[in-house]
Each structure stands twice: as structure tokens, then as C-alpha cells.
Amino acid sequence: MPLPTPILDDRSYQQLRDELVRRIPVYAPEWTDHNASDPGIALLELFAFLGENLLFRFNQIPESTYLEFLRLLDIPLRAAQPAKALVALETKVPAGELVELATPLRAGSVAFETKTEVHAWPVTLVGVARAASALPDNDEAQAFAARALDALELADDEEAVFYVNKLVPADPAAPDALPVDFRQAVDGIVWAAVVGPDKDATAKAAQLALMREGILNVGFAPDEPVANASEVDACLGFGATRRSPPLTWQISTGRVDRDTPVYKTLQLVGDTTRGLSQQGVVRLQLPRELTNMGDFPPPALDLAGTGDLPPELEDAEAAAKVLFWVRAFREDGSRVGSVTWIGANAAETEQTARALPEFLGTGTGDADQRYPLVHSPVIDGTLVVEVEEQPDTWQSWTAVEDFLASGEDDRVYTLDAEAGVVKFGNGVRGRAPQIGQRIRATGYRYGGGAVGNVAAAAISKLEGPATAKVSNPLAAAGGADGETIAAALERVPGELRRRDRAVTADDFRELALATPGAGVGRAECLPRFHPRTRIEDAAGVVTVVVWPREDRKHPNAPIPDRTLLRAVCEWLDARRLVTTELYVIPPTYRKVSVAVGVAVKPGFGVEAVRRWAELAIRQYLAPLPPFGPDGGGWPLGRRVHGPELEAAALQVDGVEFLQGLRVASLAADGATWVEGSVALAVDEVVELTEISVVDGPPLDPGAAPAPPPAKKPVPVPTIKDQC
């Protein structure tokens, strides 16, 4: 139970005055004039005024006491988390422009920094998937396919598979932008055309000469929704990382050997996408020899885009500017999933700023020495603290979470990231800087907050010598504000109980909600439930169901993406028992339809009451707080019962009584509604897909109100009768 903030005495001036006046007959019965003109009443009012001021000051004591309690427990406020985003750069300089690591960027007043170095070239990238397609029925398409088959001269062990080009959106934030699923590609290859600024052959050759031996940064953003819990694997464990599938990147050489196009394998300089399985940047080393990079010469018309040749771009202007193609495929035969964006000159950015070296102070030899930093909140893992233990000899000290496992000679310190305060040990647990030893911070990064979750194309300013333009194709995510004092006070009992360890169901739920920067809106723990086998009594298994704080694509049924699931897994893995088999899964939704018939009280607008009743039902069945029966979202596994919803609808002002309420769930065929109370599985919640509220008897669940008459009345004059 959270510790409340008590009000010791909340009486106002008027209450104090009235209480003093009521005491007059008890202590001075001869005092009968209680009007405001009486001098004694004036004195009582003065005392009431002074008393109200004293009570206001006295009521500040409990919060101060709580804050001191937090300090004694050494429980710091949780620091703000920085937002992260991918950016793409554009330049017109033929030789390109180098944008160094930690280059400042801005989205209005919000500061970002690049986390990767990027050499921006005057090129763009066009991602293409050869999506499997049936042969069209029209004669022209069939004649084209027949000519291609004749030109290919397939062997006995080969067969033709037909495809259409699907381009990865250049602007993934556009309303009509749809991700491209490379699992449906006929060859399982991610193709990307590197398009230059000019289609002239001489200019293209000059551009290739400038790019040879250079590094091409390729940004990658997958579409990461998780359809159901059966697609989620168990968490790997603390410190473990999922093995990246082996990926091969190749570049077109522009050479053809015996009618076979020649590709050269590229050296991978860096890959934060883990084999195109998560958002990040791939850095490719381009070949040294010009003979190993270029577009293939135009083949015979009937062979364009066939076999091992790159797909033919339908945009003739872009096709004429292609410098070369790069392609990626997995060596184990697995496929890259759905992709939202692929772009050139990409860099990862973070909502941080770099601090200059700081002199923190001089050691005193005392226990628990504290030294504040100039900037806060500090990004975890970026601070470097050094102590001058001998003249001109600086020793680096190590950051730890606490001093419980530290010895008297261990050079360690703790950091309150939100406040920006460095704390040293007491000489028994953790060494204390001695008298005269100077202390400095050679560098750290600071920043963060929900303000960093800027929209797409908001990051538009690049600071420094480079003249390249910058933009973020996707919205930034992961930023979170620092913990408020009120929130910290509420979690004190939980912190004392669990000690940052996940053992009970409440521990898993509370820690999942506290995952830094993940944006978890709700979390529930299902002990012994195995999501893959659906066994509800699996020993050693703990399943945590999480919801995102918001989901713009599915506002009524929020679904977490793989990035969120991964973040919660990593956070809980560091705190669970080693024998626990942990799953972090999305919720499973059961589609439900509700039909309500109301009788409206006289004097209330029918349409307004209908809207209020619909809103009340939607909020009652909503999966996220602060809605639901108890303010925590609809409980997992709780059946949807008509009379319970009737009680919610009757709370609406303007509803005199209900003429009926009908509930139905969608059958397995996806087309039939089954009426009656809806029983949910242990990991299921409600998705209200259809609701109708009418003045009168309720409609059939899933049915819409009948439209107005189809015939439109047309005025026709008649002859007026006259006497």
C-alpha cells in the first residue's frame, strides 16, 4: 500500500473563525454580541488569519520528512530517459560531407547528438522487394511473360516465379505509406538501388570514382508489430544477446560473366540492426576498384529484371540515375520481415548533449562525500570520474549501483543520475577520497525527457561545418521524463519490499511498469502460465503481459512492438531469479460487440445521451488505465457480462432506464457474432470493435442503425383548390 501524504490540519480561515465563535458561549456566556463590529470578534478573526498561515507551514513537514526518508534509504529519483531517432542526411557536394560522431542536431529547442559517424554522399536509396504475384490474365502481360521465358531458356530443374516490384516507402510518415514484407519476396533478397544526382554517363563515372573506398551508411527501420503471444520467445537472460542471423551484403559490379551478373561481397564496418532484425544503421565499405562497382548494362528487353539481374525500376528518371545496386540476404535461408524504411546517409541520434570536463572538488577523507555535477540528468554509463591519488597521477574510479558489495579499498562511487550528484563510500564499504585529493569528471552526457519524442521531420538543424540537410523519417521514441517526488513517495513501500528483485507477481508487474524509456502503459503478471503451450500450471514459468502507453495504429487495442518487449525483457532479466523462465508477451484481444437501447429522460438531447452512453461503455471496457472497472484497465480473463455493462450505462446522466443491452463475441470464422456473456482466457482482454446505442430497443450486436429512406423527396406543385 503506498504511503499517503497526510494533511495534519486542513482547516481554513472561515472554519477557524466559526469554531472560535462557537466556543464563546462555553467560555464567556456573558459575551452576547457576535457581530463583526465587536472588537472581540475582530481579535478572533485576526487569530484565525494567523492560525491559517501557521497551519499551512506546519503541513509542509510531512513531505520534507518523506524526502529525508528517501535520502536515508538511498533511493534516488529515477532519471529522465533520452529519446532516440534515425536521421538521414542530404548533400549536393559530389565528394560528400563527413558528419562526425557526437555532432549536435536540433529539433527546435530540443538537442540531439549523432551516435554514429556518417559520410553523407549525394545519393538516395530505393528499397525494392520482388513480391510474389500471379500472372495477370490480360494478353499483354502473358505475351511479355512468354517472351521472357523464351529468352531465359530455363533448365529442367528451374521454374519461373512471377513477381511485381514493391518499393519501400521513401517517406514512411506519409498517410498512404505501407510497409513492405520481404517474407513474400520470391528470392528472399533485400534490393536497394543507389541513385545518384545525374544520369549522364560521365557524371556517374566521376561520382563512382569519388565514392570508391568510402563508407555507405544504410538506415533500416523494420515494422515490428507482434501479432500474438505464440510469436514471442523466452527472454534470453541477463547480459545475453540474441544471435544475429548471418547476413551477406553484395554490390553490383556492372560486369556480366557468361550471361551471369557478377556481384562482389562487401565488408561490414558496423551493424546495429543485428542482421536487419531491429532498427539501426548498417555501415558498408565500398570497393577500392571501380571495376567492382557499377550498374549492369541494359540487358535485352525481354530479360530485364529476370534471374539474378536487379529488379527494373518503373521510374525511368530514377532508373537512369542508378549508380549501383546493393543487396542483402541471410545465409541460413531465413527471410527479413516487414520493412518500414530503408535510406542512405543514415545515423542514429540520441537526445543528449556532451558536457565539458569538470573539477568536482577536493577530497576531505570524510565518509559519504557528495559532489554535484554542473548538468543533470546524467545519462547512465557516460560519466568518467578520476581522483588524483598521487601528484599528477589520476586514477579512474568505477560506478556501481550501491556499496553493499564493496570493500574498503574499492575505488567505486554511485551516481544519482536525476540530481547529478556523485557519492563516494564511507571507507568501510567503498574507498573515500582522502584529504587534498582532487576529483574531476572528464566527461559525461546529459539530457532526456518526453519532449524528445518529436514527430517525423522535426529534426531539421545540423550544427557544425557541414552544409548537409538533415531530417528524421520516423518519429523519435523512448524519451521519458524524470520521476516526480510524488511518484517516488508512492513507490517507497515497493522498493523496501522487493529490493530491486523480481520474485512475486507484484514485483514483476511493478518493475515492468518502471522499465526506463519503454513507455509501458500497463503490465500484468501471470505466474506459471506458458504462452506457447497454453499450460496454466507450468512450474518455473512467469509470463508478463505488457501494453504500450499509446498506439496510434490501434488506439482501441494497443499492441506493443518488439522493441518494447525486448526492453522489458532486458530490464526484468537483470532482476529475476536465475531459475525463472520468463516471457514478455503482448495481450490477446477478444473482439466484442455491444448493442444498447436507452430511454432518454425528458429535457435531455437524444444524440448527446447516446454519445455519453457509448463513451461510458468504451471507457469501462478499455484495456489501459485510468479506465476499466477499477481504473486499471479491463482485467485479464474477466468475462464480459451484460448486467455489469448495464450498471455502467445507467450511470450516464440523462438515461432514465435501459430498454435492453446485448453482448456478443466474434466467432472463430471472423464473420459471425455469438450472443451472450463472453468468457475470456487467462491472457485475454476485450477489444470493443462494434457498439451501437439507440433510443429504443437495442439492435442486433454488430448491426448498424438502418439508413434513412433511399428515395429522396422531390417537391412537385399542384393546383390550389378555390371556392
pLDDT at 60: 64
Residue 709: what pLDDT? Answer: 60
Estimate to the nearest angstrom the gap between the alpha carbon of 304 and the chain centroid: 42
- Residue 356, C-beta contacts closer than 8 angstroms, at least 6 positions apart: 443
Check residue 63 and give its pLDDT.
63
Which pLDDT score is estimated for 1?
29
Task: Give CA–CA dist 128/130, Å, rounded.
Answer: 7
Mean pLDDT in residue range 419-426: 92
Residue 706: strand, helix, or coil: coil
Q: What is the pLDDT of residue 3?
A: 37
The region of weakest confidence among 226-240, 390-404, 705-719 is 705-719
Q: What is the pLDDT of residue 6?
A: 52
Highest mean pLDDT among 231-240, 654-663, 697-706: 654-663
Q: How confident is the model at residue 73 (pLDDT cuts 50, 70, 90)?
A: confident
**Segments in 514-659 forming alpha helices (H):** 562-573, 606-621, 642-649
Q: What is the pLDDT of residue 325?
A: 95
Per-residue pLDDT, 719: 65
Mean pLDDT of 415-436: 92
Cα 70 to Cα 259: distance, rounded to the nearest angstrom: 74
C-alpha cell at 63: 513531505
> pLDDT-based confidence at 341, cuts 50/70/90?
very high
Q: What is the pLDDT of residue 442?
A: 94
User: Distance (Å, rounded) from C-alpha 167 to C-alpha 669?
Assistant: 33
Which phi-psi region, left, alpha or beta, contains residue 108 (left: φ > 0; alpha: ψ -120 to 50)? left
Q: How many residues does the chain have?
A: 723
Torsions phi, psi for 643 (to 5 deg): -60, -30
Q: Which three cell numbers stand for residue 685?
A: 482482454
The pLDDT assigned to 241 comes to: 73
Distance CA 213, CA 96 (A): 13
Indicate whether 521 pLDDT > 70: yes
- Note the CATH architecture for domain 353-446: Sandwich (2.60)
Give tens-digit pLDDT for 184-210.
899 889 999 999 999 899 999 999 999
What residue spans of 552-697 are helical by DSSP H?
Answer: 562-573, 606-621, 642-649
Mean pLDDT of the region 497-503? 82
* 611 CB neighbour count, 10 Å cutoff: 13
| DSSP β-bridge partners for residue 273 | none
Q: Is the dihedral of CA 665, 667, 670, 671 positive or negative?
A: negative
Q: State how far the Cα of 205 lies from the Cα of 195, in Å rounded to an integer.
A: 13
User: pLDDT grade, residue 307 (50/70/90)?
Assistant: confident
Question: What's residue 298's pLDDT?
Answer: 80
pLDDT tens digit string along 164-174?
899 999 999 89
Residue 419: Cβ-neighbour burial (10 angstroms; 0-12, 13-18, 19+)? middle
What's the pLDDT score for residue 492?
73
397 membership: H or E segment, kind and range = strand 393-399
Amino acid identity for residue 671 in this structure: A
What CA–CA distance (Å, rounded) separates 482 from 432? 29
Cβ–Cβ < 8 Å for 377, 421: no
Q: How confident is the model over 379-406, as a mean pLDDT?
A: 91
CA distances from 131 to 45, 181, 189, 341, 399 (A): 84, 8, 10, 16, 51
At 529, which amino acid appears?
A: F
For residue 124, the surrounding DSSP H or E stretch is strand 124-132
Contacts of 718 (CB under 8 A, 6+ apart): none
Taking CA atoms, 689 is separated from 332, 593, 595, in Å, by 41, 6, 11
Taking the C-alpha atoms of residue 609 and residue 654, their distance in angstroms, rounded to an integer, is 6
Distance CA 372, CA 378 (A): 11
Torsion sign, CA atoms 197, 200, 203, 205 = positive
Burial of 319 (0-12, 13-18, 19+ CB in 10 A): middle
Rounded mean pLDDT of the chain? 88
> If you average pLDDT over residues 217-230, what whole number do you get?
85
| pLDDT band for position 587 (cuts 50, 70, 90) | very high
Query: Do 520 and 532 meet the contact criterion of CB atoms below 8 Å apart?
Result: no
Q: Cell numbers for 223, please give them.
A: 515494422
Would you say residue 8 has pLDDT above 70?
A: no
Which residues pair with residue 664 across a beta bridge? Answer: 593, 675
**With 70 as the cut, is the pLDDT of residue 42 above it?**
yes
Q: What is the pLDDT of residue 66?
A: 67
CA 427, CA 407: separation in Å to the nearest integer? 8
Contact 649, 613 (CB under 8 A): yes
Range 411-430 average pLDDT: 92
pLDDT at 349 over 90: yes
For residue 46, the model assigns a pLDDT of: 92
pLDDT at residue 239 in the model: 74
Cα 119 to Cα 88, 321, 326, 466: the distances in Å are 11, 20, 17, 10
Q: Which three cell numbers stand for residue 247?
A: 547476413
DSSP-assigned states of every residue in 298-317: P--GGGTT-TTSPPPPS-HH
Tell me: the pLDDT tens digits for 645-697? 999 999 999 999 999 999 999 888 888 888 999 999 999 999 999 999 999 89
Domain ranges, ordered by start, for the chain: 122-344, 353-446, 524-585, 588-695
pLDDT in tens, 440-492: 999 999 999 999 999 999 999 998 777 889 999 999 998 988 888 778 877 77
